[in-house]
């Protein structure tokens, strides 16, 4: 089924305290290939008891891990980064098999995930404190930063490598240890990453991975166990809100990377070809299943028809199929449930007057979860399609007349992760940069994520930032020392 150069990367047991282990009850769950519907693995289905064991191990390991010098932690992270890149091809094969994205994208995700490990290997050495001018001459005010302790990480299926790497890397850099729970749809990439961390020499208990289907019970243990000092969650806003409540009991610190609903605004002065290229990258990457995907296209009325023509032409080049096949540019959705959700949103938009301007004809004979790339015109500005994350390859185009209209439409949502705008007008860029209510704005680009930049949202898209020098802040406590002489 899969031919790995390093077969040891194929792990199906949970990883607790440096040991690969089955569920105590010997239970397993099936992992499916979304491109074929085939079961590709049976993975240990662990529960609360094993999660507690992992937390205890992480708490024990943290005492020594925090005592290592920053240079030692940096070196271990660097070794892990080197191994991830060395095994990029195998890791990409595993990722495509369990998640569905085309191999070229999977290779990109491995490199992207690894770049966070490399970045935080460097940042580990740059966690600085402060010396502050005191109120009297016989005093000294010092500020030091200390690791928060044991971190729990819960990650989604759409980027099974990168979402985990950008939590584990800053946590370890800061001197924290971690218990990670990957999504049940995609545990294999997380386990392969943990295997490489073990090979890199990262000590037992520093990284633990609990795989299981009872996410509510595992999540309850991760949030309610007082040994865990922080939760970092990437996933839906609904689950995020629930986890906030659970963390309230012991006032646990939280980083939340939640859902988005990105507006993609094209003005009549834009380079339309660049805007179409940006739209393709932003909308159709990972079959539209990214949190920063363009979800709503607002196009200036004078260029609305031309933009849709150009976008249609580009969409005609998309090749839908099994991500493992060389020519595929767009893979399946994650599940049948995902297809039904996208179809319901499209049906609702059509019932409100939208029309399909283009739809790829699928020639898929397999049992996979494929949805055809679709372009919808005349979408009602308040349809569900514009208010919810589509999470599928559907582009919804809505015309607008003025800059202020576009801003008002873009901000008319409870979430605020990413926004994109295409224009050549400097004054307009300043106005949009000021007024768009999102944590990130792509200006004349559809691709904004990288390890150097602070990734995160405002409004109901979450708290905190991942990546960049800000990314370490979520994993350290500030301690102020008041010295008197
Ligand atoms: P989800 O249902 O919230 O699941 C995310 C993770 O939470 C999975 O590991 C899931 O486990 C777990 N989970 C589900 N219910 C839980 C509970 N009651 N307690 C504890 N854990 C629980 O989200 P999804 O549909 O898989 O992922 C897509 C969402 O993630 C989208 O909204 C997307 O925008 C968001 N996302 C955000 C970012 C960002 O950086 N802002 C990045 C990527 C994705 P199981 O799957 O095993 O149930």
Question: CA-CA distance, 209 to 222, in Å (whole number)?
Answer: 12
Return the residue matching tokens 């205890």: 56
| Residues tagged active-site | 257, 291
Burial letters 268-279, b for 16+ CB under 10 A, else e: eebebeebbbbb
**What pLDDT is stored for residue 367 in this prediction?**
82
pLDDT bracket for residue 447 (50, 70, 90): very high
Question: CA-CA distance, 359 to 311, in Å (whole number)?
Answer: 12
* Every domain range in the chain assigned CATH 3.40.605.10: 7-258+461-484
DSSP H helical ranges for 159-271: 162-174, 187-199, 215-224, 237-248
Average pLDDT over residues 173-179: 98
Q: What is the CATH number of domain 7-258+461-484?
A: 3.40.605.10
Q: 40 alpha carbon to ligand 1 midpoint, in Å?
A: 22
Q: Sort strands 458-459 and 19-21 into parallel, antiparallel or unpaired.
A: unpaired
| Ligand 1 pocket mutation pick from 182, 210, 215 by most atoms within 8 angstroms of CB | 215
Task: Confirm or reject CATH 3.40.50.740 for domain 262-450, answering yes or no.
Answer: no
Q: Which two structure tokens, joined as six digits, stand for 234?
A: 């990437």
The tens digit of pLDDT for each residue in 22-76 reads: 999 999 999 999 999 999 999 999 999 999 999 999 999 999 999 999 999 999 9
Ramachandran angles phi, psi of 466, nearest 5°: -115, 145
Q: Is 155 within 8 Å of 179 (Cβ atoms)? A: no
Average pLDDT over residues 322-335: 96
Q: 473 alpha carbon to ligand 1 midpoint, in Å?
A: 23
Average pLDDT over residues 311-328: 96
| pTM score of the predicted model | 0.97
Question: CA-CA distance, 77 to 22, in Å (whole number)?
Answer: 27
Share of the chain above pLDDT 70, in %: 99
Atom of ligand 1 nearest to the CA of 182: 9
| Ligand 1 pocket mutation pick from 236, 418, 466 by most atoms within 8 angstroms of CB | 236
Q: 154 alpha carbon to ligand 1 midpoint, in Å?
A: 7
* Every domain range in the chain assigned CATH 3.40.309.10: 262-450
Please compute Rg for the chain using Cα positions.
Answer: 23
**What pLDDT is stored for residue 126 in this prediction?**
97
> In sequence order, what are the residues at sequence separation of 6 or more whose Cβ sits closer than 8 angstroms to the Cβ of residue 422?
265, 266, 267, 270, 271, 274, 275, 278, 444
Q: Is 448 within 8 Å of 116 (Cβ atoms)? A: no
Other CB atoms closer than 10 Å to residue 427's CB: what's the count?
Answer: 9
**What pLDDT is stored for residue 2 in this prediction?**
85
**C-alpha distances in angstroms, 229 versus 75, 371, 476?**
25, 41, 11
Q: Which two structure tokens, joined as six digits, stand for 459?
A: 């409004």
Q: Is 98 within 8 Å of 160 (Cβ atoms)? A: yes
Question: CA-CA distance, 210 to 219, in Å (whole number)?
Answer: 11
User: What DSSP designation does 396 have?
Assistant: E
Alpha-carbon 134 to chain mean position = 42
**What pLDDT is stored for residue 364 in this prediction?**
67
CA-wise closest residue to 189 among 117, 100, 95, 106:
95
**What pLDDT is stored for residue 363 in this prediction?**
78
């Amino acid at each position: 089924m899969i031919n790995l150069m390093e077969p040891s990367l194929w792990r199906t047991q949970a990883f607790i305290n440096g040991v690969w282990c089955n569920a105590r009850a010997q239970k397993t769950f099936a992992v499916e290939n979304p491109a074929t519907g085939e079961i590709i693995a049976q993975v240990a289905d662990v529960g609360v008891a094993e999660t507690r064991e992992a937390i205890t191990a992480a708490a024990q390991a943290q005492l020594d891990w925090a005592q290592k010098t920053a240079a030692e932690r940096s070196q271990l992270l660097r070794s892990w980064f080197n191994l991830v890149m060395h095994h990029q091809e195998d890791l990409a094969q595993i990722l495509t098999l369990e998640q569905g994205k085309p191999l070229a994208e999977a290779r990109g995700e491995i490199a992207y995930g690894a770049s966070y490990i490399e970045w935080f290997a460097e940042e580990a050495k740059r966690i600085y404190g402060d010396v502050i001018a005191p109120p009297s001459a016989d005093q000294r005010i010092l500020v030091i930063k200390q690791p928060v302790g044991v971190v729990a990480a819960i990650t989604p299926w759409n980027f099974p490598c990168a979402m985990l790497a950008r939590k584990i890397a800053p946590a370890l850099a800061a001197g924290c240890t971690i218990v990670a729970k990957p999504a049940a749809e995609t545990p294999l990439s997380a386990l392969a990453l943990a295997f490489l961390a073990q090979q890199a020499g990262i000590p037992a208990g520093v990284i633990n991975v609990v795989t299981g289907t009872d996410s509510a019970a595992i999540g309850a243990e991760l949030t309610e166990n007082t040994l865990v000092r922080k939760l970092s969650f990437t996933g839906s806003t609904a689950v995020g809100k629930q986890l906030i409540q659970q963390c309230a009991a012991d006032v646990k610190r939280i980083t939340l990377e939640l859902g988005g609903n990105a507006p993609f605004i094209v003005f009549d002065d834009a380079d339309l070809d660049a805007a179409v290229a940006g739209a393709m990258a932003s909308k159709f990457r990972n079959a539209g299943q990214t949190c920063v995907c363009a979800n709503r296209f607002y196009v200036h009325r004078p260029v609305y028809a031309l933009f849709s023509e150009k976008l249609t032409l580009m969409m005609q080049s998309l090749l839908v199929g099994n991500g493992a096949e060389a020519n595929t540019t767009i893979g399946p959705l994650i599940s049948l449930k995902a297809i039904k959700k996208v179809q319901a949103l499209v049906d609702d938009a059509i019932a409100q007057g939208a029309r399909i301007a283009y739809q790829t004809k699928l020639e898929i004979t397999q049992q996979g979860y494929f949805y055809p790339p679709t372009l919808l015109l005349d979408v009602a500005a308040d349809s569900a399609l514009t208010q919810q994350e589509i999470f599928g390859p559907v582009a919804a185009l809505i015309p607008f007349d003025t800059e202020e209209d576009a801003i008002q439409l873009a901000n008319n949502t409870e979430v605020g992760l990413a926004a994109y705008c295409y224009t050549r007008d400097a004054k307009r860029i300043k106005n949009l940069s000021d007024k768009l209510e999102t944590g990130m704005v792509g200006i004349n680009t559809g691709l904004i994520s990288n390890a150097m930049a602070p990734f995160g949202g405002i409004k109901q898209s979450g708290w905190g930032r991942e990546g960049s020098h800000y990314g370490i802040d979520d994993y350290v406590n500030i301690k102020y020392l008041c010295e008197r002489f």
